[in-house]
Structure 1
């Protein structure tokens, strides 16, 4: 059958390419499919000013370095082009413009229905990553229509916004980077849900991620006490925002709880009247297309052990904290990919 493979990988981002690198060494028949028109598009479509918080030395997939100074920090287009070149360099079997409609299992075979036809495989690796469906809290429904709203997933640059005050809801690394950018041209408020912890990019002229490796922090697993602590206390990498906060250039407010007319009301009673709102509030998992029972829990999270599910032959890769902090990052996904490739064989 022309559309039958030992393994099909869903997603040609960093996770899908990393396991493709290892599957190629196993001489298995496999195919990597992706709904985008180019490898790397998941990075190309992100906001224009995005700079990675890992240096090039810690932003590479197995077998191929990122071009440029290893101590410098790549932008999102560099990484997009790197992934595309990686796919070509290793001649990975990637099929683009292929959107998955559903996945089911019948007679010990997985059946994948796509816009390009149906496929059959012994193994499926879901490598769609942690950034699937933008999440916006219910309060956005009560915001006046003349206030411009956009999720960070769709934000590109300040020209999209109305003039005037901008409220950024969510203070993860994306929200912080966007706040820092916008502070150059407008009044910015940043809604923070919990205490912010900052780490520098470098310490004693070494990347903080180099120190993570030396001190064993990078090896902490989700099952360890250190891993559990880190998951609950994920820091902001970089300190550019701190002086802006101290000078009041970016004004920190508490978590947004409701909207009332033109005002957004925070948990401590503070009110902000923005002309724009950027929701940097993260993402939902989107697994409605998986028609296999006992794989997804009631909170829409994958039930797995290091990417291995209870359904024989079904794997996940690139999940946030799949095994370690780096599981969803370029610097860590390769180790998980190697583990799963070995398990498949």
Structure 2
């Protein structure tokens, strides 16, 4: 099947791209690995909510109904994405997982898991940043009778075996998961580097609104502000600060240092027996299925500078991205034998990449 523009992924980034293209009268094909729009949100842990309030979480062209300063739950947002696609008549081809993307002359060729081949002049990669779980090598030292899972597999306290559980990683997900289990069993939370937590509101307004008005959400990832924000990876406190964790019964521990059979040791020399581990250790920015020369590095991470692929010498004027907090959503365009990979957060200018 051949199309001018192929969008891979029908989450918020893919649907936003489709909306922008449709408004400009451009034809496209959008494919998604899930069986239903929003599945990437539905299939996460039960207590997950968006980090950002509804007032700044909606996509262009459709509000996110509810308390503007409140936070949508994961199922609510999944349903919103489904309604968004229906309202704007965005056709999504579901259960189409792309397993390889390569270049054939002036075209891109995407191969799907069910054996189909899709060719296009433009490819927008909108598969999100949470598809490749990162699990430390220490996991290989655990005996077979110790249950372990990445946070992507956790749904609720019933997901883990009875007995002491260790959550490794104190980002927002790790803290959420620890609190969710604290009323049911002994929970330890291993923390790495010092975590910078920000207030949820400043002068009665959402921190995110202030960040947007100050231009921090549009800061260059390579700039001083962008580098610092990405290094510290801060997030607003919403009942998951250290004091709240302790009140919930979560035992805070320093970095996990070693595993000896069923006993884990921490950086302060203390140790505990455990029955299970939840790895809340983040995700790798890897797209190993992209086999386009110059688009990804040796680790399969996108090669870019503020979303523009410098090694490929494509026209540099295409897209401005919010690069401080985002992860690689990208677009590739074929013109004169060259390709381009760019972040696709601010999506209105996508049409500028289409060959004349």
Tell me the TM-score normalised to structure 2 length. 0.87
The aligned counterpart of 2:260 is: 260
The aligned counterpart of 2:143 is: 144
The aligned counterpart of 2:335 is: none
Tell which has more relative contact order, 1 or 2 (C-alpha 8 A, sep 6+): 1
Query: Which range moved further: 48-57 or 264-273?
Result: 264-273
CA distance in 1, matches of 2:102, 2:117: 11
On the 8 A contact 2:218/2:321 being kept in 1, the answer is: no
The aligned counterpart of 1:102 is: 100
Q: Could you report, residue by residue, the CA deviation over 1:200-239 in whole angstroms, capped at 9, with x for unpaired residues?
A: 2222321111121233322322132111111111113225
Kindly tell me the number of residue pairs found equivalent between the two proteins.
336
The aligned counterpart of 1:201 is: 200
The aligned counterpart of 1:217 is: 216
CA drift at 1:170: 0.6
Say whether 1:249 aligns with 2:244: no
CA drift at 1:95: 0.6
CA shift in 2, pair 1:84/1:245, >3 Å: closer
CA drift at 1:110: 0.9
CA distance in 2, matches of 1:153, 1:30: 31
On the 8 A contact 2:218/2:322 being kept in 1, the answer is: no
CA shift in 2, pair 1:314/1:240, >3 Å: farther
Residue pairs, 1:7-86, within 5 angstroms = 7-86=5-84
| CA RMSD in angstroms, aligned pairs only | 2.5
CA distance in 2, matches of 1:13, 1:298: 27
Q: Which runs of 5+ in 1 are unaligned?
A: 316-320
CA distance in 1, matches of 2:351, 2:236: 31
Tell me the TM-score normalised to structure 1 length. 0.90
Q: Which runs of 5+ in 2 are unaligned?
A: 330-342
Q: Could you report, residue by residue, the CA deviation over 1:55-110 in whole angstroms, capped at 9, with x for unpaired residues?
A: 11011111211011211111000000001111111111311111113121112111
CA distance in 1, matches of 2:117, 2:238: 49
CA distance in 2, matches of 1:305, 1:57: 29
CA drift at 1:187: 1.8
CA distance in 2, matches of 1:54, 1:27: 31
CA distance in 2, matches of 1:289, 1:53: 29
CA distance in 2, matches of 1:189, 1:307: 38
On the 8 A contact 2:217/2:324 being kept in 1, the answer is: yes
CA shift in 2, pair 1:34/1:313, >3 Å: farther
CA shift in 2, pair 1:60/1:116, >3 Å: farther
The aligned counterpart of 1:303 is: 303
On the 8 A contact 2:220/2:306 being kept in 1, the answer is: no
The aligned counterpart of 1:129 is: 128
On the 8 A contact 2:179/2:248 being kept in 1, the answer is: no
CA distance in 1, matches of 2:270, 2:131: 32
On the 8 A contact 2:101/2:289 being kept in 1, the answer is: yes
Aligned-partner SS, 1:86:
helix
CA shift in 2, pair 1:82/1:248, >3 Å: closer
Structure 1 stretches of at least 4 aligned residues deviating more than 4 Å after TM superposition: 245-248, 310-315
Aligned-partner SS, 1:133:
coil
CA drift at 1:267: 2.8
